[in-house]
Structure 1
Amino acid sequence: MLIINKLLPQGAGLAPVLLKRAGVLALPFAARQHHEANLSDGEGAELGLRLPVGTTLRGGDVLVAEDGSLLRVEAAPEGLLQVRASAKQSLADLFRLAHQLGEMHVHMEAAADHLLLPGDPELAQWLERQDFALAPTEAPFDPPNLLSQLPEVMAQQHEQHEHHGHSHDHDHGHAGHVHGPGCNHGH
């Protein structure tokens, strides 16, 4: 088993020629949340991931094995839910949902008119009961840390309020870190 014990975020410091030569390790989002795991590279080689506690792998990160070999991490396509506001809702409803999901520690990717969420059947049922439009999709899932994304989502919501002739000043702080299904943080 080849042990991987070093991470270069986004390949920092590596020459482009080395990045081109690196192998590829495509992993779904849940697998990229583990700092310690036994994996396969898709070609039959066994890999032992042994990174510092709390490490999360992102697409574009480069792993360095004990033998000096390099593996570039990619987000593997996986089953997701694309969530949009229904005909009875507004974009502001979708932004409020993004905030609520963040408070529930659900990982997401937010775009101007939709959210991408893990393809969780219970989550899908909950969203359907709230009348959101859902579409299953298959795509790579590499959501940012919610705390880095939330200010952008809330700014878009405030812009929407201002288009209606008024603005609001709210405190939208959120302390802590983001969790997802199977995070094993004792919740």
Structure 2
Amino acid sequence: MKAVTLTFTQRLLTGDRNPVQYTLSLTAEERSRSRHPFQTDDGQAIYLHLPRGTTLREGDRLRAESGELAQVRAKPEPVLTVTAESAIELLQVAYHLGNRHVSLEITETYLRLSPDPVLQDLLHHRGLTVTEEVAPFQPEIGAYGHAH
């Protein structure tokens, strides 16, 4: 690990295409930590000091106090990917998981959530296909999340 710790304080607006010096691969939980030390993919020590409540997304770009740029990547992590024979089945289970305040990635063809044996059993009982895998996880940030 390199000795100097860079402090990243700014998330750039989408559309910024300046070259990045670092890639920062983070799990969904790590992307919700706005003030925390991490390491870039090449081992550079960094510190995030972003506005409280910031949730990072795949592709976000960050600027350090010293001007360096980093790009955020969704790090593959253990997940349950849920598929169904019909869209209504996915909508129904999204409703039930939402009532349980489960972090959920929602797409047209699948739902994705963190592994949980109780929820996995519920999904199997509803007749859904549940696949355990390691994949990037991008849960919805919620109705009051920070958009960019």
TM, length-normalised to structure 2: 0.81
Give the number of aligned pairs: 141
Structure with a larger share of its residues in helix? 1
- Tell me how far 1:9 sits from its aligned partner: 3.9
Quick check: 99-108 or 121-130, which moved more? 121-130
Decide whether the 8 Å contact of 1:108 with 1:146 is kept in 2. no
Decide whether the 8 Å contact of 2:22 with 2:41 is kept in 1. no
Aligned to 1:45: 44
Q: For 2:65 and 2:40, how far apart are their aligned partners in 1?
A: 15
- Tell me how far 1:146 sits from its aligned partner: 4.2
Label 1:38 to 1:121 Cα distance change in 2 as closer, same or farther (>3 A): farther
Residue 106 of structure 2 corresponds to residue 110 of structure 1: yes
- Tell me how far 1:132 sits from its aligned partner: 2.6
Aligned to 1:4: 8
Label 1:140 to 1:9 Cα distance change in 2 as closer, same or farther (>3 A): farther
Aligned to 1:59: 58
- Tell me how far 1:101 sits from its aligned partner: 1.3
Kindly provide the amino acid, as one letter, of the partner of residue 113 in structure 1: T
Secondary structure at 1:106 match in 2: coil
Kindly provide the amino acid, as one letter, of the partner of residue 11 in structure 2: L
- Tell me how far 1:103 sits from its aligned partner: 2.5
Of 94, 98, 103 in structure 2, the residue corresponding to residue 98 of structure 1 is: 94
Decide whether the 8 Å contact of 1:9 with 1:60 is kept in 2. no
Quick check: 138-147 or 1-10, which moved more? 138-147
Decide whether the 8 Å contact of 2:106 with 2:140 is kept in 1. no
Q: For 2:142 and 2:100, how far apart are their aligned partners in 1?
A: 11
Aligned to 1:184: none
- Tell me how far 1:25 sits from its aligned partner: 0.7
Q: For 1:22 and 1:146, how far apart are their aligned partners in 2?
A: 31
Alignment of 1:20-31 (within 5 A): 20-31=19-30
Secondary structure at 1:44 match in 2: coil
- Structure 1: gaps spanning 5 or more residues: 148-175, 178-187
Rg larger for: 1
Q: Which of 1 and 2 has higher RCO (CA within 8 Å, sep 6+)?
A: 2
Residue 138 of structure 2 corresponds to residue 142 of structure 1: yes
Q: For 1:70 and 1:102, how far apart are their aligned partners in 2?
A: 35
Decide whether the 8 Å contact of 1:39 with 1:47 is kept in 2. yes
- Structure 2: gaps spanning 5 or more residues: none
